Structure 1
Amino acid sequence: MTQYTPMIKQYLQVKAEYQDAFLFFRLGDFYEMFFDDAVKASQELEITLTSRDGGGKERIPMCGVPYHSAPNYIEQLIDKGFKVAICEQTEDPKQAKGVVRREVVQLITPGTVMDGKGLNDKENNYIASVTAFDDDTYGLAYSDLTTGETKVTVVLEGLQALMNELATIGAKEVVIHPDLSDEIQGRIKERTDVTLSFEQESNPGHAFTHLVEPLKQGKLIQASSLLFHYLFRTQKRSLDHLQVVETYQLHQFMKMDYYSKRNLELTETIRSKGKKGSLLWLLDETMTAMGARLLKQWIDRPLIHKHVIEKRQTVVQVLLERFFERQDLRERLKEVYDLERLSGRVAFGNVNGRDLIQLKKSLQQIPVLKQLIQSLENDATDELVARLDPCEELTDLLEKALIENPPLSIKEGSLIQDGYHEELDQYRDASKNGKSWIAKLERDERERTGIRSLKVGFNRVFGYYIEVTRANLQHLEEGRYERKQTLTNAERFITPELKEKESLILQADEKSVDLEYELFIGIRERVKEFIPRLQKLAKLVSELDVLQCFATVSEKRHYTRPVFNDERRIVLKDGRHPVVEKVMGAQEYVPNDCYMDEEREVFLITGPNMSGKSTYMRQVALTSVLAQIGCYVPASEANLPVFDQVFTRIGAADDLISGQSTFMVEMLEAKNAIIHATQQSLILFDEIGRGTSTYDGMALAQAIIEYIHEHIGAKTLFSTHYHELTVLEEELAKVKNVHVSAMEQNGKLVFLHKIKEGAADKSYGIHVAELAELPQALIQRANEILLELERKEEPSSSNEVAASRESFIEKRETSEEDLAQLSFFGAEKSEKKEKLNSKEKKCIEELKKLDILEMTPLDAMNTLYGIQKKLKQ
C-alpha cells in the first residue's frame, strides 16, 4: 500500500470490502475502475482500457464510464450475474482536506435491482437465503425488493426438496452463510444457476425486528434474519416497504417437483425456455403487471383446500356471467399501474414525479372499480368491495401537489402545482414578474417623491438600486432610504422593500428549484406513510385481476366449472389439452373422456407414437392444476378429487450437469414419485424403462405398476410400448387397458387421437417412420426385418404373422364415430371439406342469410353461439 498515491490507497481500502463486486469509484464526472476490475470491465462492457500512474513502479490498468450513463453499464453487468458497488464522494471537494471522503452507498446485485430493463414487469425478482440446520432441514426465505413481499418456510424433506423450491421461485441470487457446506453450495449453484452471496450475521437486527416479530419458530427467524441482514447491509437506505414476513409450508399447496413442472410446461416450455406455449401463456389475460405476477405464483402453487378453491371459483362464475361488467372492469384495471413496485420505489427513494402521477391515476380508478364490483350484488364479491381502499387522502395530496406532466428529474423544478406552497408561489412570481414589479416600484417612488427623474436600476456589483440626482435629494423622505453608492452627480439608495425583493428576484430560480426538491421529498415522505395501505390494495387488485382473467379465458375457451369429490373419482367428459387446443384451434382438436374410480386406479395406455398418448396424460394433469388454482377447465363436464401431489415422467433428457444419463434421470424421477406419492396423488409415467434393454425395461415397468397398485393406490396414467404388459389387466384388479385408436386409409396409417377401452398390441413405429418421410427403401427394409424378428420370436404360419401384424388396425365394422373422426385426419384436407354433412351445410346456409351487422352486439353473439353449437353437434 505504501507505494500507491493516497487516492489509490483509498480505492484499495474500499475494494477490500467488496472483493466479489465491480467497484464504481466516483472521480468527478466519471466512475472509474482500476486493476483487475478495469481489465475485466473493459472486456465485459467493451470499453477502452487505459492506465494511469498510481504511485508505484508500473502504471495501473484503468477504465471508466460517465456517471450520467452509468445505469446502462451497471445493468449490463447485473444481467451477466455480476455485482456492482457504487462508491460516491460523500464530502464537498472544496472543503476536503486531502483526499475527498468516499463511501459505498449501495451494492447492486441481480437480486436487488430496483429498476431498469433487467426487471420484467410480469415476473418477480426474488433474492433468497438458505440456512442449514443440524436435523437435515433447511430454512428458506425469499424477498422481492421491488415489491417488499417476503416469505419464509422450513423445508423438512431434505436437500432435493430445497432445490425444487428454489427452482420454483426462480431466485436470481441466493444468500448463504460462509459455513454452509461446499456440497450444498455446489448443488445450489449447479441446479439454479444463480449468483451466490455470503452473509455472516443471522440474528435479528433492530432495523427489521418488527418484520420477524410475528415468527414464533427460531428456525424461521434465523432464515429470515440472514436475508434481512444482507439487504440492509448492502442497500444502505430505508427499506420501509418491506412487509412483515409471511410464513408458509410446502404441504399447504399441491406439490410438484421441478421436473414435473417442466414436463407439464406450466410457466415455460421445455424447448424454448420461454413463456409462449406454456399454461401461463394460455391463461395470461391479466390487465396489470401485479396480476400477471400473481397468476404465475398461483400456477406454481395450486391449492389443496377445497373451500378456498371454491371461493375463487364463485367469483369467477359471477364475473363470467356478467359480461359487460367484466369488460368495464378490464378497462379500468388497464389504467392501474404497478402499485407494488411504485410503493417500493417510494420507500427506496428513487421515485420521480411521473411515478407519483401514475400512483395518483391508479388510485383514481379504485372508486370506479369499487362501484363496478358493488353492482355485481353477490356475497362473494361484496367482501372484495369492503377491502378496496381508495386512499382518498393520498389521492387529494397528489392532485393538489403535482403538475400533470412532470419532468423525469426531481432536481430541475417544474414539479409542484401553483397554489400548493406560498413561498414557492412567491419565488415563481418574482422570477416571472420581476421586471414588471421593478417598473411598478419606479412609478410608485416617482409619485411618492415627486422626482420625475428618479429611476430604479441594476448592476452586478450592487444589485438593484434607486438613483436620485443630487439636485433632488431634498425631496427624499428622511429615514426611508439607505445610501448604497455615491456618484458624481447622483446618489444611489436602497429601501427595505427593494432589498427584500432583490433577494427574491436574484435568487428566485435557484431557490424555486431547491424548494421544489424539498417539497417533493416531503411529499414522498408523506406517501411513505401510505405504503402498508397501498400494498394491501395492490394485493386485492391483483387478485381481482387474476380472477377476471380466469373468467375471460373460461368464456373464450368454453371451459366448465369443475366440482370436487371425496371419493377419488376422475370424471372428465370431452377433456382437452388447453394449450394444444389453443394452438390447433377448437375445431381441429379431438376431445377425450377420462373416467377413473376405486376400481380403475391405473390406466395402461398403449398406441403408436404421435397418436396422442402423452397429450392425453398431460391434459388430465393440466386440468387438475387449472381446477385447483380456481379456474374453469377444458371439458364439458369435470368432477375431480383434490390432488395433493402430481408427479410426471414424460420425455427423455440427459442431465449433463451432474453427469446422469437419460435412464438414470428416469429412474430418479420414478423413485421420487414412488417414495412420496400418496393415495391422493396423480402420477403420469410415459414410457418407463425404454432407456435400457428390452427385458430390463419391461421388468422394471411391470414392477413399478405392481408397486403403485399394491402399495400406493394413486391415480396413475402409464403409457408404454411394452404391449406384453397389457396382460396386467387380468392380474391386477384396478389396472385398465386403454389405447389410442388408428385406422388405415389408402394404405396409410391415420391416427384418430381417440382414447378407447382395451389394449393395442402393436406400436406401428414403421408407419410413423413412413409418415416422417424416411426413404422408401429404408421403410421396405425395416418391414422385412420386422417380419424376420417376429418369425424368430414366434414360430407360426405366415397367415398368423400377417394377422398379428394387422391386429392394431381394427377389423370390426367401421362406426359412424370413426368416420367422423377420420374426416379430421384424412390424407387430403380437400377431402375433409367435401365431406360436410347435411347439418353442417344447413348451418352454413343459415349463416349466409343472417345480417349480423344489423343486430345488437348481444343478439349477434347469441346467434353465432347457437350456430357454433349446431356445428359442434
Structure 2
Amino acid sequence: VSLYEYSSILVNAGYRTVVVEQVERVGEMNKGQGRKSDAVVKREACQAHSAGTLTHEVMLKKSPSPAQPNYLMALWFGDASAHPGSLGERLSFGCCVVDCTTSTFKYGWFEDKPDRQLLRTILITLQPRELLADKKSIPTAVHRLVQSLAVPPTVTQWQHWDPGTGLSSKHGNEDEPLPVQRACGAVLAYLRQAMLYEAVTSFATWERLSTSDASSTGLILDANALEQLEVLRNTDGKLEGSLLEHLDHTVTPFGKRMLRQWVCCPMRRKVDIDRRLDVVDWLLERGELVSELRSKMGKLPDIERRQNRVFALGLQMERKAVLYGEVESSRIAQFMELLAALKEADDCLAKVRDGGDKLPALLNGLVPVGELGHVDGILDELGSRVQGSEVTGYSPSPGCYPAYDEARSKIASIKSDLQEELKKICNEHLKGCKMQEAKFVSVKYRYEIEVPERCAPRNLEEHGLEVSSTRKGFVRLLSQEIREMTDELEKTEEQMKDCLYPFMAQLFKDFHKHTVRLQDMVQRLATLDCLLSLSEASRPGSGPMCRPEILDSADFPVPILDLQDGRHPVQEAVLARSGREFVANTVEMGVHASPTTLLVTGPNMGGKSCPYRIMSI
C-alpha cells in the first residue's frame, strides 16, 4: 500500500511515476541460457501512473475528488492554419475522454463559437484530471483558458496522434472527422505507454459525447450557468457553498457520480420531473426506511470501479511481476468481497420493494421483481469455486482446478516426507534422542532439526548431517535429503501460486458474462442513492418547504412563474451558519395579469442577483 500512497503524492504534485517490478525468480534466473551466475534477477516496468490513468483504489482515494470520474482527455483542433492565439478565433475540435476506472470512453466533434463557450462547458462539466495536448494543434488562447479553470487539469505534451491506432480502426467508425480520430488515437497510444491498453479497452464502452439538448430529455447547462449559479463550485473554486454540495447526501461513490450528472443535466419534461418528485414525497413519508437504506448502502465499496478491476484481472493468464506474500489470495478475497457487496446491494433494492404496497412509478422500475435475487445465482455459480475465509486465505475449491489440486497434493506429500525424514534421522543417527525432543525450526533455513547438544553425534559427516546454527544447549542440523525436499517444496509452492493466475482469469471471465445485468443493478442502486439524497435535501431546514407544481406548457399561452416567499437553499444555509436570516423573495410572472418580463433595478450590492439565482435554481 505504501507504494501507491507515495506514488499518489508524486502524481498529485504533477509528476508521472513508473513501477519497476521483479519479473523472474532466482530459480528461473539460474535456468536462463547464457546468463552469468552472478547476474541479477530480471526487472521490467509493470505500471505507470499519471493524473489521468489512476486505477488503484488507494491512489484514487488520495486524488482531489475521489468519488468523481478520473478523466483523461485529448483535444485536437481541426483548423491548423488559423492559430494566432486570439480568443475570438472560431475553431472546431475533436475530443476524446476516458475514465480508466470504469473503461468508459466518450468522443465527439464540435463546432465552437468565438467565445469558446462549448469548450469551457465540456471542461467544467467533465473536469478532466489530465489533458493531452500538442503544441502544433492547441491554440495559445485555449492554453490560457485551461489554466484559468477553477480546477485546471495536468497538461501533458503528447506527440503520438496517429489516427490509424484510434477510433476508426478499432471500432469501424471511419466516418468520424480526422480530429476525432486523432484525439482517440492519442488516448489509446497514451494508454499503451501507461501499460493499461488491454485492461481498459478489452471491456470498454464507447459513447458519443453530447452537449446538445435538442434530442434529450434534459437541459445541459453551459459554462456560464454552471459558474454564475455556482452549480458545481462556488466563486472561489471550492465545493463548499455550491448547489452540488447542498444536494449531495449520497452515501455511495457511484451515487455521487450520478448525482453530478443530474445536476449538470436537469430534467425539463413535466412527466419526468413529477415522477421524480413522487419518489421524493414517498421517501419523506418513510424516514425509518430511508435511514436503514442509507446505513446499509453507506457500507458498500465502489462496486462500479471494483467490477471493472475484476474484469481487467481476468486478462492476466500468467504471472508477470514476482509478488511476495499472499497477493494472489488477496485478489480472490477482493472478488469475494465484491460478490458479498453485490448481494448486499440486491438486498437494498429488495428492501425498497418491501417498503410499501404501491410504489411510485419511477421507484417501481428501479426494483423489478424479475431482477431481484439474481445475484444469488452468481454466488452459487462462482462462489462455490472458492474455499477459505479472510482469516485463513482463499484458494480454489477441490476439483475446480486440477493443476492446483495436483500441486496442493504434492506439497502435502513432501511435508509428510519431511516428517518421516525427521523420524528416520532421530531413530538412526541421534542416539538417546526422544521424538518429542527433536523438532523442525526455521531460523537460518526453512527446515532445520533442533535437538539437545547431548543428542548430536560427534562425527556428523559420517551420519550425513551438518550444523546449520546453534543456540544455548541446542544444535540445529541439516541433511542433504532435507535440503532437496525443501527445494522441491518451495518449487512446488511457486508452481501452485502460478496456478492461481489462470484460475482467477477463468473465474473473472465467467463473472464478466453477467456484466450487463450487474451494471444495470449498480445503475439502479445509484439512482436510488440519488433519490435518497434529494429526499434528505428536501427536509425542512430553516423554514418551510413545498413541492413545486410544474405546469404543462400546452395548457397556458404564456410562461408562468409564481414563486411565493422563495428562498435560495444554499445561501440560506450559509447565512444560518452565521446566525443570520435569509430575506424571502416573491416573484410573479405571467400570473394574475402580471407581466412576463421584469426589470430589476437598484444600487450595486443591493441584492439584484438574488431573485435571479432563486428563479434559475
Residue 550 of structure 2: aligned partner = 563
Which of 36, 52, 55 aligns to 1:114? It is 55
Q: How much has 1:311 moved relative to structure 2?
A: 4.2
CA distance in 1 between partners of 2:498 and 2:43 (Å): 24
Give the aligned partner of residue 589 of structure 2. Answer: 596
Indicate which of 176, 182, 191 corresponds to 2:133.
176
In 2, Cα distance between equivalents of 1:312 and 1:434: 69
Match of 2:156 among 196, 210, 226: 196
CA-to-partner distance for each residue in 1:820-872, whole Å, 9 max, x for gaps? xxxxxxxxxxxxxxxxxxxxxxxxxxxxxxxxxxxxxxxxxxxxxxxxxxxxx
State whether structure 2 residue 16 is matched by structure 1 residue 83.
yes
Q: 2:211 maps to which residue? A: 250
Matched residues in 2 for 1:583 and 1:352: separation?
A: 45
Residue identity in the other structure for 1:269: N
Q: 1:366 aligns with which of 324, 345, 352?
A: 345
The alignment status of 1:260 with 2:237, answered yes or no, reads no
CA distance in 2: counterparts of 1:325 and 1:592, whole angstroms: 35
Q: CA 1:278–1:257 in 2, change beyond 3 Å: closer, same or farther?
A: same
3-state secondary structure, aligned to 2:598 = strand
C-alpha contact 1:370 1:385 (8 A) present in aligned 2: yes
- Shift of residue 330, structure 1, vs aligned partner: 1.8
TM-score normalised by length of structure 2: 0.69
CA gap 1:414/1:514 in 2 versus in 1, 3 angstroms: farther
In structure 1, the residue matched to 2:82 is none
CA distance in 2, matches of 1:103, 1:363: 36
Matches within 5 A, 1:673-712: none
| Distance of 1:184 and 1:100 partners within structure 2 | 50
Query: Counterpart of 1:707?
Result: none
Residue 579 of structure 1 deviates from its aligned partner by 1.0
Mapped partners of 1:543, 1:305: distance in 2 = 18
2:251 to 273, 287, 291: 287
Structure 1 residues 119-518: aligned runs within 5 Å: 120-134=65-79, 136-158=91-113, 159-177=116-134, 179-183=136-140, 186-187=143-144, 189-192=146-149, 193-194=152-153, 195-203=155-163, 205=165, 212-213=171-172, 217-218=176-177, 223-236=183-196, 237-240=198-201, 242-252=203-213, 253-271=218-236, 273-349=237-313, 352-375=331-354, 376=356, 377-378=358-359, 379-386=361-368, 390-396=374-380, 397-398=382-383, 401=386, 403-405=388-390, 414-416=393-395, 422-423=405-406, 426=409, 429=412, 507-508=488-489, 511-512=492-493, 515-516=496-497, 518=499
**Which among 594, 612, 616 is matched to residue 611 of structure 2?**
616
Q: What secondary structure, in the 3-state scheme, does the structure 1 residue paired with 2:599 have? A: strand
Q: Work out the CA distance in 2 between the residues paired with 1:347 and 1:201.
A: 28
Question: Structure 1 residue aligned with 2:537, among 532, 545, 553?
Answer: 553
Q: Distance in 2 between matches of 1:284 and 1:432?
A: 57
TM-aligned CA distance change 1:389 to 1:572, over 3 Å:
farther
Higher RCO (CA 8 Å, separation ≥ 6 residues)? 2
Q: Contact 2:343–2:375 (CA<8 Å) still a contact in 1?
A: no
Change (3 A) 1:91 1:312: same
CA displacement, residues 90-129 of structure 1 (integer Å, 9 cap, x when unaligned): 6776544699876544432111122312363322211111
Find the aligned partners of 1:206 and 1:441 in 2 and give their Cα distance: 68
Selected match of 2:500 from 507, 510, 519: 519
Task: Give matches, 1:3-14, under 5 Å.
Answer: none
Check whether the contact 2:161–2:183 (CA below 8 A) recurs between aligned residues: no
Residue 296 (structure 1) shift? 1.7
Provide the alpha-carbon RMSD of the alignment.
4.6
> Given that residues 356 and 398 in structure 1 are in contact (C-alpha distance below 8 angstroms), is that contact kept between their aligned partners in structure 2?
no
Deviations 1:404-454 (A, max 9, x none): 426xxxxxx9443775764465467568877777799999x99xxxxxx9x
Cα offsets for 1:557-592 (capped at 9, x unmatched): 444144143242212223210112223449943332
Q: How does 1:675-824 map to 2 (within 5 A)?
A: none
Alpha-carbon distance in structure 2 between the residues aligned to 1:119 and 1:355: 25
Q: 1:434 touches 1:505 (CA, 8 Å); kept in 2?
A: no
Q: 1:72 to 1:362 in 2, by over 3 A?
A: closer
Q: What do residues 16-57 of structure 1 show as CA deviations (whole Å, max 9, x unaligned)? A: xxxxxxxxxxxxxxxxxxxxxxxxxxxxxxxxxxxxxxxxxx
C-alpha distance in 1 between matches for 2:291 and 2:207: 33
User: Residues of 2 paired with 1:191 and 1:247: CA distance?
Assistant: 27
Q: Distance in 1 between matches of 2:142 and 2:187?
A: 16
| Distance change in 2, residues 1:188/1:615 (3 Å) | closer
Deviations 1:479-511 (A, max 9, x none): xxxxxx9979xxxxxxxxxxx999887755664
Using the TM superposition, give the Cα deviation of residue 382 of structure 1 relative to its aligned residue in structure 2, in angstroms: 3.0
Name the CA distance, whole Å, in 1 between partners of 2:394 and 2:221.
50
Q: Is the 8 A contact 2:53 2:194 kept in 1?
A: no
- Distance in 2, matches of 1:548 and 1:428, equals 53
In the TM superposition, what is the alpha-carbon distance from 1:357 to its structure 2 partner?
4.0
Assess if the C-alpha contact under 8 Å between 2:20 and 2:46 holds in 1: yes
Q: When the two structures are aligned, how many residues end up with a matched partner?
A: 509
Percentage of identical aligned residues: 22
Query: Alpha-carbon deviations, 1:267-323, whole Å to 9, x = none?
Result: 22223x322221122111111011112212221222344444444334434433443
Structure 2, unaligned runs of 5 or more: 80-89, 314-326, 449-460, 465-480
In structure 1, what is the Cα distance between the partners aligned to 2:298 and 2:600? 46
Matches of 2:72 and 2:549 in 1, distance apart?
A: 36
TM-score by length of 1: 0.50
Letter in 1 for 2:520: K
* Counterpart in the other structure of 2:467: none
Distance in 2 of aligned mates of 1:506 and 1:89: 21
Give, in whole Å, the separation in 2 of the partners of 1:321 and 1:215. Answer: 53
Q: Secondary structure at the match of 2:205?
A: coil
Compared CA separation, residues 612 and 185, structure 1 to 2 (3 A):
closer
Q: Mark the CA change 1:191 to 1:414 in structure 2 (over 3 Å): closer, same or farther.
A: same
Q: How much has 1:243 moved relative to structure 2?
A: 2.8
Deviation of 1:365 (Å): 0.8
1:458/1:436 CA distance change after superposition, 3 Å? closer
Query: 1:654-673, aligned counterparts within 5 Å?
Result: none
Q: Is the Cα–Cα contact under 8 Å of residues 430 and 508 in structure 1 kept in the other structure?
A: no
Report the residue type matching 1:76 in the other structure. I
Any idea what the Cα deviations from partners look like across 1:642-665, whole Å, max 9, x if unmatched?
Answer: xxxxxxxxxxxxxxxxxxxxxxxx
Distance verdict in 2 for CA 1:399–1:381, change over 3 Å: farther
What is the distance in 2 between the residues matched to 1:216 and 1:332?
47
